[in-house]
Structure formats: C-alpha cells, structure tokens
Amino acid sequence: MRVAVALCLRNEDPARALARLAAVRESLDATGQGAAYDLFALSDTDDPAVAAQEEQLFAQMRDRLGASARYRRRDDNAGWKAGNIRDFLRRWGGGYDLFLPLDSDSLMSGAAIVRMTRIMQAHPRLGILQSLVVGAPSDSFFARVFQFGMRHGMRSFTAGAVWWHGDACAYWGHNALIRTAPFKAKCRLPLLPGSPPLGGPILSHDQIEAALMRRAGYECRVLPVETASFEENPPTILDFIKRDHRWCNGNMQYFGLLGLRGLVPLSRFQVFAAIAMYFGGPAWMAMTLAAAALLLGLSGAPAMVDGVAVGFQGADFAFAVTMFFIMFSVSLAPKIAGWIDVALTRGGVARYGGAGRFAAGAAVETVFSMLMAPIAAFAVTVFQIGLLFGRRISWSGQQRDLTRVSWAQAARAMWPQTLMGLGLAAAVIAYAPAAAPWAAPVL
C-alpha cells in the first residue's frame, strides 16, 4: 500500500514542525518499510516571513525528509484545514491508498504507523483508524499537569467509548490513518448557509468527516492502546482557553448539520453530543447565578437560614446533597477509572515513578482540574454569548513555548472570572457561611 504522511502547517514554528516530520521519516525508515511512505508539508501560512522560513528549512532538510517529500503552500486558504487536506487530495490523492494527517505539533513513531497500516490493509472496510494520542513532554507546569491527567484518563475514557461506539468511533483530525478513495469521494464537507462565525466553512471538520465516512459504509474505529502517538498540549491556561474557543465555535456550527441525511443513528448522536458538551459550562454558570439570586433573596424564593432555603429541608435537602455527590462522582469517573487502570496494569505505576509519585501526581491534577473547571466554564459562556452577536475567532499559529503567564497578562484575561468569584464569595460569606463548603468548587 502507498501511504502519504501529510503535515498541515499554519503560521507555526517551521523548525519544530519540520523536525518532527523528519523524525517520522527516520523512524519509518528504521522499520524497513519506509519506501511505502511519502511525506508532504501542506502549508496554509499567510505570514510571509514564516512562509519564507518554511521554504528555506524544507530545502535544507531535504535529505532528512526523503527525496519524495513535497512542500506546497496555498495562496487561498479556503476551507481552513479541511480545505488544505481537500487540496492535497485533489492534487496527489490518487496516488495513495491511505493518508495520515498530522498537525504541526503531532509526532508518531514509524512502528505505530506501520502497525496501523497493516490493520487497515487487513480490513478493507475500515475507513478511518484513529490512534490514541497522548500529550508530549513539556517544560510547562500547566502542560505537564494536563498531560498527566490526559495520559491515564484518556485511555480509560477511550476504551469505554470504543466499546459502545463500535464501528462509528470518533476521529480527532490528526494522528489517524484514512482510506483515501472513500474520503475523497464521500467526505466533502458542506458549506453552511450564512456567514461566520456560525455559517460558512466548518471549523471542527473531524467529527463530521467521520460521520460521512460511516454514512458511506466504511468503519471508523479508534485503537485504544498507546502506540507512540503524541501531540503538544497548550502551555498555559490562556492558550487552553483560546483552543477551547476554537473548538466551541466549530461545534456550535453543528446545529446546521443535525439534519444531514443518511447518518447512522450513533453518528447523529455524536454530532448532538458535540454540541451539548459546550452547554455544560453555561448551564453551570446559570445555576450558580440562580443560587446567588436565591441567596440574596432576589428571586422571590424562600429566605436562607444557615445556608439552607426555608422549605428546602428534609427530603429535598437530602436529594440536593445526593445530586451534588453524584455529579461530583461523574466528573471524577474518568480519572478514577484511569487510576484503577494504571494500578492494575503490569508496570503501570512504575512508569509514573512509583506509587508515591503517582498518588501525588493524581492529587495535584485533581485539585488543578477543580480549580480550572469554573474558569474555563465562565470563559466559554462569555464566548458563546459573543457568538450570538457575531464574534469571530482568528486562525493563527499557536503558542508552544511560553511556560508562564505574567500577572499583567492574567489580570487582563481573567478579570471577569476574578470579579465574579469575589462577588459570589462575598455573598456566600455574608449571607450563608454554612454554604461555603458547597460553593467551594466554584469559588
């Protein structure tokens, strides 16, 4: 089989991205199967200085990338990343049975790629095979904590998803092998009516492409084991929020795709679930504000006595407490499953430096996630309100090297969350100090 490895670039540091692509080339050659794979650098860069660096570095690294490697830069970035891949398929897709899209922060071992190629070769009705992606090592504390949680939690989460998604699994847009012919023929994305941010080209292309591949009669599956497939995580919370906003914008466009004809029921549910996942934050914030209104007596509801509403005693209060712990447990379930998976896997704890280090890391990551969750939920709520008024996002290179946020940057970016947190904390302490433990996860 002929396989194209397609690296997508957009105003990123070309030295780092092309070095990763060269590492993929060398790793493929080390397997003895390198001749079956050709490398492509597909640039959508619109910064002239970065584009010049890309061209220069690609020429300098020709020996490492292989004689068959190609560099192409589009002048027209129509369709964003999906359009970049579509242009590649139009030009070169006919020469390849499979292709492997990589983002500029992606890295895969040659052994992993060859293994996945053999699986695709053995199963001709397999249209997309997604690898389990884990976070690459980083100097950033934020990225390292995020990577820790992602590494053990993602495996258990993915294993569960694979169990019930079956042949209609997700595709994450990169680090996946795709059968070229059906993707080219059947997975062209529709153009949404209207203008951005909710109309026009689809930003979150991967979920819809997987649904279209399944509609065409091909399977979409995830390989739920670690196979040396990596991506970089955002180095700071500000970069995480920016990425989350891009994903949110793309998922909100799915409202116009719920009625796509011919989707299998599970694919249609996944499209709906992709929308619903971004309503959790606004719902949380709405309930928080409703609780604050109740606390201050602004809702016409019963007054508060020691943090409990009059008329909200006995069975009602027990129900509320039960629901609190159920929701808390649901939030922690993937983490707990990940901890159990590591503990029961031979050598699993040792890979984390021993039981003590793993337990300490799990505790830090859990507290970190609890602190970050309301910040991200508030940010995505404000962003969704902006979408309704036509707020647009820019598609530019992502920050990879920053390892800390200055106080000035934090103040500029986080003042709304800070004001809301201080206001809620003051209300709770003044009117219902007994409710402070229940409000702590938000405050």
Is the per-residue pLDDT at 312 higher than 70?
no
**Of residues 352 and 57, more confidently modeled:** 57
Q: What is the reported pLDDT for 119?
A: 98
Using 50, 70 and 90 to split pLDDT, how confident is the model at 420?
confident
Q: What is the reported pLDDT for 25?
A: 97
Is the per-residue pLDDT at 396 higher than 70?
no
Q: Phi, psi at residue 127, to the nearest 5°?
A: -90, -40
Across the beta sheet with 98-102, the strand order is: 70-73, 37-43, 3-9, 98-102, 176-179, 126-135, 219-231, 107-108
| Cis ω before 197 (30° cut-off from 0) | yes
Closest CA to 212 of 185, 248, 194, 180: 185
Secondary structure of residue 226 in the 3-state scheme: strand
pTM of the predicted model as reported, rounded to 2 decimal places: 0.90
Residues with Cβ < 8 Å from 3, sequence gap 6 or more? 36, 37, 38, 96, 97, 98, 99, 100, 113, 117, 177
Q: What is the reported pLDDT for 403?
A: 66
Look at the block and give the residue holding tokens 């009669």. 217
Using 50, 70 and 90 to split pLDDT, how confident is the model at 310?
very low
Average pLDDT over all residues of the chain: 89
Is the per-residue pLDDT at 41 higher than 50?
yes
Is the per-residue pLDDT at 325 higher than 90?
no
Q: What is the reported pLDDT for 313?
A: 52
Q: What is the reported pLDDT for 180?
A: 98
Share of the chain above pLDDT 90, in %: 59
Is the per-residue pLDDT at 59 higher than 80?
yes
Q: Write the pLDDT tens digit of every residue in 261-301.
A: 999 999 999 999 999 999 989 998 888 888 777 777 654 55
Domains of the chain: 1-114 (3.90.550.10)
Is the per-residue pLDDT at 46 higher than 50?
yes
DSSP states along 66-113: -TT-EEEE-S--TTHHHHHHHHHHHHHGGG-SEEEEE-TT-EE-HHHH
What are the Cα distances from residue 278, in Å, to 275, 364, 377? 6, 25, 9
Q: What is the reported pLDDT for 348?
A: 86
How far the first Cα of the chain sits from its last, in Å, is 56
Q: Write the pLDDT tens digit of every residue in 70-105.
A: 999 998 888 899 999 999 999 999 999 999 999 999
Q: What is the reported pLDDT for 272?
A: 95
Q: How far apart are CA 202 and CA 189, in angstroms?
A: 7
Question: What mean pLDDT do residues 307-328 have?
Answer: 65
Pick the range with the lowest mean pLDDT from 12-26, 113-127, 288-302. Answer: 288-302
Secondary structure of residue 12 in the 3-state scheme: coil
Q: What is the reported pLDDT for 47?
A: 92
| Cα dihedral 110, 116, 120, 123 in deg (nearest 10) | 140
Q: Write the pLDDT tens digit of every residue in 144-188.
A: 998 888 888 888 888 889 999 999 999 999 999 999 999 999 999
Using 50, 70 and 90 to split pLDDT, how confident is the model at 316?
low
| Beta-strand relationship, 304-305 and 107-108 | unpaired
Q: What is the reported pLDDT for 117?
A: 98
- In a 13 Å sphere around the CA of 27, the CA atoms on its Cβ side amount to 19
Share of the chain above pLDDT 70, in %: 93
Contact, 156 vs 224, CB < 8 A?
no
- In a 13 Å sphere around the CA of 154, the CA atoms on its Cβ side amount to 19
Q: What is the reported pLDDT for 438?
A: 72
Q: What is the reported pLDDT for 290?
A: 82
Q: Phi, psi at residue 39, to the nearest 5°?
A: -105, 140
Using 50, 70 and 90 to split pLDDT, how confident is the model at 311?
very low
